């Protein structure tokens, strides 16, 4: 057995320099860009209930989340959670570099950086109490494909990695699916089907086997653990309807997937939000198209029906792969935390160009031009996404400050209400009325699809107010559950009240303190 220092030296010597570069690029870019979130303690509405949370989310199908988040304790400590999350992100970048066969150090750095700044990660930082677990899930999904590719029986450990990834968060399944498609595309590009069709088909079978076995392992473990704990799957995000198709049928479900894919890609205000990012996206796409045409001309692909079949297959499969969660669970609300895989379209185009340019010994002027285009486009996108993330973090801080000021005034009004006493039941809906408090968020066009980072307030329910006032103002309120409020919301007494800060926005009725915060006019 070696000493620790000898072990570390051997590990260093065996590590591919390209992977070191990718790890460091992703880790330190993530550290620089997401430092505002890591050094803050700003909760969102979910975070208020997760100051300490054991992450036992088995009823949502996340049976391994409690273990994955246990390394950072179950307390919300953004700095530690952020460091652990960025460590897994760096590992993901390192594995991606090997999996995508990247050669150019500049492309490797830009790929790692792009992975670290994509806005989906900023939204994940808004839910920082699960960030380290989610980054582990993404790493395991990528590792599953890498193991399948590298080893003859790698699909077996790959399936286990995929099962545990889904056991943390099912949303990273598309990562594995898209990367498998990319590997099959490389087989076609490199002529593997022409050289040895049987071996190429066998490799495709390994990817398919990894996916099927991984899903089976995930579901089997889930069912066993549900049985042991005596629980059932919840209806949250449609997890209890996994594998079922709605009344409309498979064609309607596929239509929904394609519409969602193109709507988010073209109009989602995430991939591109301004002329610079839009131009960079188009330039990157142009470079990828150029590479395809160059390879097609060089290999005489025009003469092969398989070339056209490949293009048609990509057009059909890529939207399905990116949004396969909608096919598995039709009832899911597909928000930005679940769309991290869109970064692979950008990384994939850059990697495909890198794969081609690395094999060209005597590059012509057009090749040199598109190498510059690829590098510049990736760099511009990286910079634009870094700006987007920090604009969102700026708004998050302002949301906290406005919420703090609002709750301080509201608490004072509550405590000054005639008849108030400590522990009195309080009936409140919790929505902040925008009649009395106009919208002041200036970042709407940038953050509108960045869940957890948009809007003016951190609060949406009465229980949110209760938690915020407890943890940040040091006062204890007894806010009734929604069910316990019964018909209070539609009672004449409540309807006639003013919305806060109106003079008549709080009053005691039959031993219950009514607090009205939402808009005065309701249908």
Band (236; pLDDT cuts 50, 70, 90): low
Please calculate the CA angle 412-414-415 and round it to the nearest 5 degrees: 65
State pLDDT tens for residues 334-376.
Answer: 889 999 999 999 999 999 888 888 765 546 788 889 999 999 9
What the block records as the tokens of 15 is: 């590590």
Residue 218 or residue 53, greater confidence:
218
Mean pLDDT of 39-68: 88
pLDDT at 519 (0 to 100) = 65
Query: Where in the chain are the domains?
Result: 16-393, 394-515
Higher pLDDT, 191 or 354: 354
Is pLDDT at 38 greater than 60 in this prediction? Answer: yes
> Is 84 a residue whose pLDDT tops 70?
yes
> What's the N-to-C CA distance of the chain in angstroms?
74
Residue 485 CA to residue 461 CA, distance in Å, equals 13
Other CB atoms within 10 A of residue 351 CB: 26
411-426 confidence digits (pLDDT tens): 999 999 999 999 999 9
- Cβ-contact 149, 183 below 8 angstroms: yes
Give the pLDDT confidence of 135-169 residue by residue, as tens digits: 999 999 999 999 999 998 999 999 999 999 999 99
Q: Contact at 8 Å (CB) between 310 and 374?
A: no
Which pLDDT score, from 0 to 100, does residue 523 have?
Answer: 43
CB neighbours of 364 closer than 8 A, spacing ≥ 6? Answer: none
Least confident span in 27-41, 104-118, 187-201: 187-201
pLDDT over threshold 90, residue 15: no
How much is the average pLDDT of 49-55? Answer: 86
> Which of residues 190 and 496 earns the better pLDDT score?
496
Residue 24 — very low, low, confident or very high, per pLDDT cuts 50/70/90? very high
**Whole-number Å distance between alpha carbons of 349 and 352:** 5
Is pLDDT at 500 greater than 60 in this prediction? yes
Residues 74, 75, 76, 79: what is their CA dihedral angle, to the nearest 10 degrees? Answer: -100
Residues in the chain: 523
CA–CA–CA angle 380, 143, 139 (5° rounding):
55
Please report which confidence band the pLDDT of residue 249 belongs to, taking 50, 70 and 90 as the band edges.
low
CA angle 23, 26, 28 (to 5 degrees): 100
Q: Is the pLDDT of residue 124 over 80?
A: yes
Where does the pLDDT of residue 5 fall: very low under 50, low under 70, confident under 90, or very high at 90 and above? confident
Eight-state DSSP code of residue 486: T
Q: Which of 59, 43, 126, 130 is nearest to 463 (CA)?
A: 43
Res 304 pLDDT > 90: no
Neighbours of 235 (CB within 10 A): 12
- Mean pLDDT computed over every residue of the chain: 87
For position 290, what pLDDT does the model report? Answer: 92
């Amino acid at each position: 057995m070696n000493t620790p220092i000898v072990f570390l030296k051997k590990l260093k010597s065996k590590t591919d320099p390209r992977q070191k570069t990718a790890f460091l690029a992703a880790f330190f870019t993530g550290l620089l860009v997401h430092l505002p979130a890591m050094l803050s303690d700003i909760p969102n509405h979910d975070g208020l209930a997760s100051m300490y949370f054991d992450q036992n989310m088995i009823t949502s199908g996340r049976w391994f989340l409690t273990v994955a988040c246990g390394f950072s304790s179950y307390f919300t400590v953004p700095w530690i959670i952020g460091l652990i999350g960025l460590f897994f992100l760096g590992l993901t970048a390192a594995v991606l570099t090997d999996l995508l066969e990247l050669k150019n150090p500049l492309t490797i750095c830009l790929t790692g950086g792009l992975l670290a700044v994509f806005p989906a990660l900023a939204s994940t930082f808004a839910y920082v109490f699960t960030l380290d677990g989610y980054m582990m899930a993404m790493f395991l999904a990528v590792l599953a494909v890498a193991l399948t590719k590298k080893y003859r029986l790698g699909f077996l450990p790959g399936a286990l990695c995929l099962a545990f990834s889904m056991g943390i968060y099912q949303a990273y399944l598309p990562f594995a699916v898209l990367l498998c498609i990319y590997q099959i595309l490389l087989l076609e590009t490199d002529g593997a089907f022409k050289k040895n069709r049987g071996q190429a088909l066998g490799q495709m079978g390994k990817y398919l086997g990894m996916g099927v076995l991984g899903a089976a392992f995930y579901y089997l473990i889930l069912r066993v653990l549900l049985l042991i704990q005596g629980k059932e799957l919840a209806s949250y995000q449609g997890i209890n309807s996994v594998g079922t198709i709605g009344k409309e049928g498979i064609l309607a479900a596929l239509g929904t997937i394609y519409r969602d894919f193109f709507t988010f890609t073209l109009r989602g205000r995430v991939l591109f939000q301004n002329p610079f990012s839009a131009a960079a996206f188009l330039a990157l796409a142009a470079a990828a198209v150029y590479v395809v045409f160059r390879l097609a001309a060089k290999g005489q692909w025009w003469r092969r029906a398989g070339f056209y079949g490949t293009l048609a297959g990509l057009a059909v499969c890529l939207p399905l792969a990116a949004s396969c969660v909608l096919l598995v669970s039709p009832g899911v609300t597909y928000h930005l935390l679940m769309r991290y895989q869109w970064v692979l379209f950008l990384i994939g185009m850059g990697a495909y160009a890198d794969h081609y340019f690395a094999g060209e010994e005597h590059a012509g002027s057009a090749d040199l031009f598109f190498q510059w285009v690829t590098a510049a486009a990736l760099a511009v996108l990286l910079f634009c996404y870094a700006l987007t993330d920090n604009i969102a973090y700026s708004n998050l801080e302002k949301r906290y400050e406005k919420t703090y000021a609002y709750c301080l005034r509201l608490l004072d009004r509550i405590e000054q209400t005639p008849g108030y006493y400590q522990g009195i039941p309080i009936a409140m809906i919790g929505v902040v009325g925008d009649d009395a408090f106009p919208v002041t968020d200036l970042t709407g066009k940038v953050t509108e699809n960045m869940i957890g980072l948009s809007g003016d307030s951190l609060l949406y329910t009465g229980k949110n107010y209760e938690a915020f006032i407890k943890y940040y103002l040091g006062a204890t309120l007894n806010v009734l559950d929604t069910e316990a409020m019964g018909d209070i919301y539609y009672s004449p007494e409540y309807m006639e009240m003013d919305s806060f800060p109106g003079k008549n926005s709080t009053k005691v009725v039959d031993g219950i303190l009514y607090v009205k915060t939402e808009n005065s006019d309701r249908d």
